[in-house]
Each structure stands twice: as C-alpha cells, then as structure tokens.
Amino acid sequence: MMKGWMSKFKAIFALIVLALVLSGCGKPFLSALQPKGEGAEMIYDLMILSIVIMLFVFVVVMVIYTIVIIKYRQKKDDPDFIPKQTEGSHALETLWTVIPIILLLILAVPTVQYTFALADTSPEINEEGEEQDSLWINITGAQYWWHFEYDGLEVSTSQELYIPTDRRVYLSMSSQDVIHSFWVPAIDGKMDVNPTGNTNEMTLLAKEEGVYWGKCAELCGPSHSIMDFKVIAVSPGEFEQWVKDMQGVTGEETPESATAQEGQQLFADNCMTCHAVGSSPNKIGPNLTNFGDRLKIAGVVDYNKENLIEWIQTKGKEMKPGNHMQDAPYNLKDEEAEKIAEYLMGLSPSDITPESAEDSVYKDSDLSSLFPEEEAEGEGEQSQDGESEEGSDGEGSSEDGAEDENSDEENNEE
C-alpha cells in the first residue's frame, strides 16, 4: 500500500513541477503578466481581481468541506448517527445565492468600466483643456504580415510598428484577405481585424520604451502561428525624428556600394510590383522602407544575409508556408539574389532603430511639429482677422493714401 501511495505522490508532484515550468515558458515582452501599457495594466488588474475572488471562494469551500468531513464523519461508537438535515433551509439557500451575485458584481463593475475605457477612441485632452492632435495609424493584416500607414504623415512601413511612449496612439484596422487578430499582450488586449471593409478601432499607450512582441491571435492559415510583428516604443522626441527621417525616403536614393546599386536595379525590375520603398500605398507584399533596421526577416526568421538570400530564392516556401510570395514570377541567380539582399540590408533611413528603444535615452516632445496643418489654419485665421481689422480701421485713410500710391507707381515706371 505504501509503495502505491508513493508512486501516486511522485506522479502528482511531477505534474505540479511540469505545470510550473511550462507556465514560465515564453518570450520576453510577449506576456500579459508583464504589463507595460495602459490597456495591459487594466487587463492585468482584472486578472488579479478574478484570481483573488476565485481563491477566496476556493478557500471558503475547502474550509467548510474540511469542517464537515471532520465533524460529521462516521463514528465507531455510533455508526448509525445521522446529522441534522438542512434541506429546504431558506437562510442557506439565500446565502449561497446572494454571495455569488455579490462576487459577480464586484468583478463585473470594473470589467464594464475597463471595456468602455479600452474602446474609447476620442481625442486626448491636454492640460489646457484642449483636444490634442491624434496620431492615427491604419493597420492592414494580410497572410502573413502586417502593414502600417501613419495617417496624414506620409509614412508607411510593415512588420515593425514605431510608436511614441506616454502618448495614446489610435489604430484603425482592417484585413485584405481573412480575419486576423492584432495582439500586443504587454501593451494592450486583442482586436479582430476583419475583411470586407469592416474597420475596428483601438488605442495603444506604451508607458515604457522597449521592443514588444505582437502576434496574430486568430487562426488565419498555415503560417498563423508565425504571423509575428514588433512594436518599437521610443521616446516622443525620437519618434518625431523617426517620422521626419521616414518622410524623406523616396525609394530613389542611390546606395553607397556598387553591389547595392546593382541590387537596387534588380529589385526594381523583379520586386517593385509587390513591394514598395517609401510612402507608396499598400501593395501585395510588405513595405521595405526601413528593412535594414528590422529585427527579423518576415517577422520570425533570424536577420542575416544568408537567411535573406534563402528567403528570396525559395520565396519563403519553407520559412513561412502559404505566403503569397510563392506566386512571384521572378527567377534569379544566386549572385543576383545576393545583390538584392545587399541593397535591402542597406535600407536604413533613420538613426532611430530598435536599439533606440533600449538605450535608456529619453527625448521629450509634444509631437506638435508632426501636425502643422491645424497650426497653419489657426495662423491663417488670425492673419485674416488682422487684415479685416486693419481694413475697417483704415477705411478713412485709404482715400488719403491713394495719391501716395499713384506717385509710387509713377516713380516705379520711371
């Protein structure tokens, strides 16, 4: 008997240890248990609250269970003893009906509050009580990559989303093929990305600089599990510089090395149908404007020249099964693929890179230089008001100044 109990104990202990080990598996910044953003903190608080409630219920039930087992166990001296029956007790039935309702309300109230707060995409209000300019990013999900267009800023990129810290970023999301789900667990919750023109909106607010891993959380095809992307959260001043650097890219810049220049021409001849460099609209494949700064190839493959050449030559067939690049009609020699790789790895238009998110350098900014239109409109209105005031004040003197204007014109003609 003792050996049987020991073997069962060992099996249970092994399962507990295995569960603890597996629960610790994962990647850095890919965990909802390490919140680094406003939305993630709300979700984390709800998780802790629900765990506390469940633990409270579990402890109470186990205490009552233990008391009942000990107090009302069968006694040797009175094997026929039957405890007092409580069936039909209105007090007990009311108690175990009201308590769960109270516990559900305790969990439901903050859940509803946070749900509406996370769905709120209204503009932020600054210290002066005025609406701040909203940074909107249009996100498009595709099999199996992500495209990002910064609305009104003429900046496009793919796979790596740059955002400022301490500033709410507004996302407008859709899909060009099937349903995807945008999820950056360390910053915020999930949001479905739907096709057929259906657009969903959410916000991101990163409180710390860093590189955060994102995943597609909706089964979307054979490479769903590796439809990864990165969110690069940098300080507002660094983000401002990154935007300005990206705005200056046209795709016609001449690379430094002769090999890269040949690669640029080969890229234009074979790849520009599907890919873009610069702020061109979304195409069939990812935008490659800052490909030289990427952390991964296709979101998941280690970034090096050998892997990039292999990706170009095999069209990612084994690295990312089911991707649409397999339909590309090009046929390249190895040396041609190497030249294209040399060109792509040199696409680094900005000094702000993923390393900037981890260098502990914080540059502050209100991002006002990125939204000059409203300021210009305000200045224009002021100037128009000034002109109208001058006109109304100077009506009486306009006739007096007519002779001076005529004399000036005569002098100019002379």
> Residues 248, 268: contact at Cβ < 8 Å?
no
In this prediction, residue 27 carries a pLDDT of: 64
Q: Judge residue 298's burial from the number of C-beta atoms within 10 Å of its C-beta, 0-12 exposed, 13-18 middle, 19 or more buried.
A: buried
Residue of 164, 173, 169, 161 lying closest to 294 (CA atoms): 161
The SS3 assignment for 135 reads strand
Furthest-apart CA atoms within the chain: distance in Å? 135
Q: What is the DSSP letter of 89?
A: -
Using only C-alpha atoms, what is the Rg of the chain?
32
Contacts of 264 (CB under 8 A, 6+ apart): 254, 255, 343
Q: How many CA atoms lie within 13 A of 241 on its CB side?
A: 13
Strand partners, 296: 302
The conformation of residue 78, written as its DSSP 8-state character, comes to: B
All domains of the chain in start order, with CATH: 26-75+89-120 (1.10.287), 135-368 (2.60.40.420)
Q: Is the peptide bond before 144 cis (omega within 30 degrees of 0)?
A: yes
- Predicted TM-score (pTM) of this structure: 0.81
pLDDT, residue 397, reads 40
Q: Kindly provide the residue ranges of all beta strands, DSSP E only, lying in 217-337, ordered along the sequence.
A: 229-234, 296-297, 301-302
C-beta of residue 317 within 8 angstroms of C-beta of residue 326: yes
The Cα 217–Cα 212 span in angstroms is: 15
Q: d(Cα 362, Cα 235) in Å, to the nearest integer?
A: 5
Beta carbons within 8 Å of 76's beta carbon, 6+ residues apart: none
CA 10 from chain center: how many Å? 44
Which among 153, 117, 118 has a CA at the least distance from the CA of 134? 153
Q: What is the pLDDT of residue 237?
A: 96
Q: State the amino acid at position 276 in one-letter form.
A: A
Q: Are 168 and 204 in contact (CB under 8 A)?
A: yes
Tokens representing 43 are: 């979700």
Check residue 159 and report its DSSP letter: S
Q: How does pLDDT run along the chain (414 residues), one tens digit per residue?
A: 556 667 777 888 888 888 777 766 666 568 888 899 999 999 999 999 999 999 999 999 999 999 988 887 877 777 777 777 777 788 888 988 999 999 999 999 999 999 999 999 998 887 777 888 899 999 999 999 999 999 999 999 999 999 999 999 999 999 999 999 999 999 999 999 999 888 999 999 999 999 999 999 999 999 999 999 999 999 999 999 999 999 989 888 899 899 999 999 999 999 988 899 988 776 789 999 999 999 999 999 999 999 999 999 999 999 999 999 988 888 899 999 999 999 999 999 999 999 999 999 999 998 989 987 644 444 444 444 444 444 444 444 444 444 444 444 433 333
Phi and psi, residue 139, nearest 5° = -110, 130
Assess contact for 324 and 275: CB atoms under 8 A. no
Spell out a b/e string for 222-245, using b for 16 or more CB atoms within 10 Å of the CB, else e. ebbebbbbbbbbbbbbbbbbbbeb
pLDDT attached to residue 129: 78
